[in-house]
């Protein structure tokens, strides 16, 4: 006896297959198909699903130290476990892009201007991305820097919530950093926000609206990775762990933010979501738990 497909089975029961899909599932599928990859992710190996072991863009690590102590931070976990990378360049010759940096706060380092100039001279064709919490960025420092893309982290829309998440009273300084880069048309400006349901649900559209009003080009909304050493802090802050693993909830937050700004989601996640049918996407869950981040790239002397 021939095995029927689910479409044939549906028709045998008098139901057209498309009725089995719900409207929200179709909207989510359309949303991911229409989304653009984040500017930061363009050129990254993670967008190629045929690559069995993709690695992120090369990075230049300046310091694992940071003036924030965020409740979700993987860099803090790496430091506590003795796995934070040493300062230096992690990558290869002729890269598409280089990130400064993935661990710690690069603007703490007195070498930030020197390293920026060195990378520009050594890799003239590479896109240079600065990833920062923004709290130390001033007009004077900005005039000395030369990046193509700047990602500034902001996960709350108020001083009080920002203080709770970062353990640093720097909300106004971060907003000022967004203002500085937002009015510089020579750079692609991005606000980088982590989806933390139960903690910053209501803040995400407000952050998007605030960033857009300051001239920021793009919001990069990223899913939360829950590192074991941060579990209790996240629980105390009110994280909804169930929703943090729901792809549907993550995409719904992105849809809401897109009303205010050009929102993008993590490129490697988007590449996978595009391969899913609407019902699978609607019910999909991601493994959000991890122990510590691993640096897959080799360090050059």
Residue 55: alpha-carbon gap to chain centroid: 15
Q: What is the mean pLDDT of residues 143-156?
A: 98
Q: For residue 291, name the pLDDT band (cuts at 50, 70, 90).
A: confident
Q: What is the mean pLDDT of residues 157-177?
A: 98
Per residue in 270-290, pLDDT (tens digit) is 999 999 999 999 999 997 887
d(CA 86, CA 130): 18
Q: Is the pLDDT of residue 81 over 70?
A: yes
Whether the CB-CB separation of 289 and 228 falls below 8 Å is answered with: yes
Instruction: Give residue 19's pLDDT.
Output: 52
**Residue-level length of the chain:** 301
pTM of the model: 0.91
- Measured from the Cβ of residue 15, the count of other Cβ atoms closer than 10 Å reads 12
Instruction: Give residue 288's pLDDT.
Output: 81
- The residue behind tokens 């994280």 is 239
d(CA 74, CA 145): 26
Q: Is the pLDDT of residue 20 over 70?
A: no
Using a CB cutoff of 8 Å and minimum separation of 24, what contacts does 238-241 make? Answer: 238/198, 238/199, 239/196, 239/197, 239/198, 239/199, 240/197, 240/198, 241/288
d(CA 14, CA 280): 23
Q: Shortest CA distance to 104 belongs to which of 67, 142, 150, 137?
A: 67
Q: Is the pLDDT of residue 21 over 60?
A: no
Per residue in 85-123, pLDDT (tens digit) is 999 999 999 999 999 999 999 999 999 999 999 999 999
Per residue in 215-270, pLDDT (tens digit) is 999 999 999 999 999 999 999 999 999 999 999 999 999 999 999 999 999 999 99
Instruction: Give residue 292's pLDDT.
Output: 67
- Measured from the Cβ of residue 298, the count of other Cβ atoms closer than 10 Å reads 11
Q: First vs last Cα of the chain: how many Å apart? A: 65
Q: Is the pLDDT of residue 47 over 80?
A: yes
Per residue in 200-213, pLDDT (tens digit) is 999 999 999 999 99
Q: Where are the domains of the chain?
A: 19-300
- Nearby residues of 292 by Cβ (< 8 Å), 6 or more positions away: 74, 77, 78, 81, 83, 227
Task: Say which DSSP state 156 is in.
Answer: -
Mean pLDDT of the chain, nearest integer: 93
Q: Shortest CA distance to 208 belongs to which of 264, 284, 260?
A: 260
Instruction: Detail the DSSP E strand segments found in 124-181.
Output: 127-132, 149-153
Query: What's phi and psi for 240, nearest 5 deg?
Result: -90, 95
Q: What is the CATH number of domain 19-300?
A: 3.20.20.70
């Amino acid at each position: 006896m021939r095995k029927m497909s689910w479409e044939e089975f549906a028709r045998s029961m008098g139901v057209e297959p498309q009725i089995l899909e719900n409207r929200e599932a179709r909207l989510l599928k359309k949303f991911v198909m229409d989304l653009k990859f984040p500017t930061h992710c363009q050129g990254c190996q993670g967008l190629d699903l045929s690559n069995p072991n993709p690695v992120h863009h090369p990075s230049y690590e300046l310091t694992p130290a940071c003036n924030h102590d965020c409740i979700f931070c993987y860099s803090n976990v790496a430091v506590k476990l003795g796995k934070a990378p040493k300062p230096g360049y992690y990558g290869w010759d002729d890269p598409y892009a280089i990130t400064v940096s993935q661990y710690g706060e690069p603007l703490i380092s007195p070498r930030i201007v020197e390293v920026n100039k060195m990378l520009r001279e050594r890799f003239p064709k590479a896109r240079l991305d600065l990833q920062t919490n923004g709290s130390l960025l001033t007009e004077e420092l900005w005039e000395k820097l030369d990046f193509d893309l700047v990602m500034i982290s902001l996960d709350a829309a108020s001083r009080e919530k920002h203080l709770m998440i970062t353990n640093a009273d720097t909300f106004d300084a971060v907003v000022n950093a967004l203002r500085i880069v937002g009015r510089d048309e020579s750079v692609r400006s991005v606000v980088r926000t982590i989806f933390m349901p139960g903690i910053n649900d209501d803040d995400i559209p407000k952050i998007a609206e605030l960033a857009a009003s300051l001239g920021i080009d793009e919001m990069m909304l990223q899913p939360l990775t829950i590192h074991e050493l941060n579990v209790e802090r996240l629980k105390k802050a009110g994280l909804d762990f169930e929703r943090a693993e729901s792809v549907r909830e993550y995409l719904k937050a992105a849809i809401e933010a897109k009303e205010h700004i050009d929102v993008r989601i993590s490129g490697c996640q988007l590449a996978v979501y595009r391969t899913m049918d609407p019902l699978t996407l609607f019910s999909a869950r991601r493994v959000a738990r991890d122990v510590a981040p691993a640096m897959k790239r080799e360090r050059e002397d």
